[in-house]
Amino acid sequence: MQRRADRILIVMVGLPARGKSFLARKICRYLRWLGHAARIFNVGSYRRERLGDHKPAAFFDPNNPEGSEARQLVADAALDDALRWLKTEGTVALYDATNSTRARRAHLLEQATRVDVRVLFVESICHDEGIVEANISETKLRSPDYVGVPADIALADFRRRIELYEQAYESVSDPLLSFVQVIDAGRQVVVNRVEGPLLARIVALLLNSRLTRRTIWLTRHGESVFNMRGRIGGNSVLSPRGEDYALALGRHFEPPPAGLVVWTSTLARAMATARHFLVPRTEWRQLDEIDAGVCDGMTYEEIARNSPELASARAADKLRFRYPQGESYLDVVRRLEPLILELERQTTPTLIVSHQAVLRALYAYLVGEPVEHCPHVAMPLHTLLELVPNAYGSDERRTLLTSRIEERPSMMPPSGA
The reply on whether position 292 binds ligand F6P by CB under 6 A is yes
Q: Name the minimum Å distance from CB 345 to ligand F6P.
A: 27
Backbone angles phi, psi at 107, to 5 degrees: -65, -45
Q: Name the minimum Å distance from CB 411 to ligand F6P.
A: 5
The reply on whether position 291 binds ligand F6P by CB under 6 A is no
The reply on whether position 327 binds ligand F6P by CB under 6 A is no
The reply on whether position 356 binds ligand F6P by CB under 6 A is yes
Question: What b/e sequence results for 7-28 when a residue is b if at least 16 CB atoms lie within 10 Å of its CB, and e otherwise?
Answer: bbbbbbbbbbbbbbbbbbbbbb
- Any catalytic annotation for residue 244? no
Full DSSP string of 211-241: -----EEEEEPSPBHHHHHTB-SS---B-HH
Instruction: Sheet containing 383-390: give its strands across.
Output: 281-283, 261-264, 350-354, 216-220, 383-390, 393-400
Could you say which residues in the range 359-388 bind ligand F6P, by CB under 6 A? Answer: 375
Counting residues that bind ligand F6P (by CB under 6 A) gives 11
* Residue 92 parent element (H or E): strand 92-96
- Any catalytic annotation for residue 28? no
46 vs 300, which CB is nearer to ligand F6P? 300
As a whole number of angstroms, the distance between CA 96 and CA 373 comes to 26
- Interface residue with ligand F6P among 61, 145, 288, 289 (CB under 6 A) is 289
205 vs 357, which CB is nearer to ligand F6P? 357
Binding mask 109-148 for ligand F6P (x = CB under 6 A): ----------------------------------------
The reply on whether position 355 binds ligand F6P by CB under 6 A is yes
Q: Which of 407, 372, 369, 360 is nearest to 219 (CA)?
A: 360
Backbone angles phi, psi at 219, to 5 degrees: -150, 145
Residue 37's Cβ-count burial label (10 Å; 0-12, 13-18, 19+) is middle
- Any catalytic annotation for residue 374? no
Catalytic choice (123, 145, 221, 344) = 221
283 vs 407, which CB is nearer to ligand F6P? 407
- Any catalytic annotation for residue 80? no
The reply on whether position 357 binds ligand F6P by CB under 6 A is yes
Contacts with 150 (C-beta within 8 Å, 6 or more apart), sequence order: none
Segment lying near ligand F6P (by CB under 6 A), choices 117-125, 148-156, 332-340, 355-363: 355-363
22 vs 365, which CB is nearer to ligand F6P? 365
As a whole number of angstroms, the distance between CA 94 and CA 40 comes to 5
230 vs 256, which CB is nearer to ligand F6P? 230
256 vs 297, which CB is nearer to ligand F6P? 297
As a whole number of angstroms, the distance between CA 46 and CA 126 comes to 26
Could you say which residues in the range 209-268 bind ligand F6P, by CB under 6 A? Answer: 232-233
Beta-sheet pairing, 188-192 with 179-183: antiparallel
Cα first-last separation, the chain: 30
Q: Name the minimum Å distance from CB 375 to ligand F6P.
A: 6
Residues labelled as active-site residues: 96, 126, 221, 289
- Where on the chain is the footprint of ligand F6P (CB under 6 A)? 232-233, 289-290, 292, 355-357, 375, 411, 413
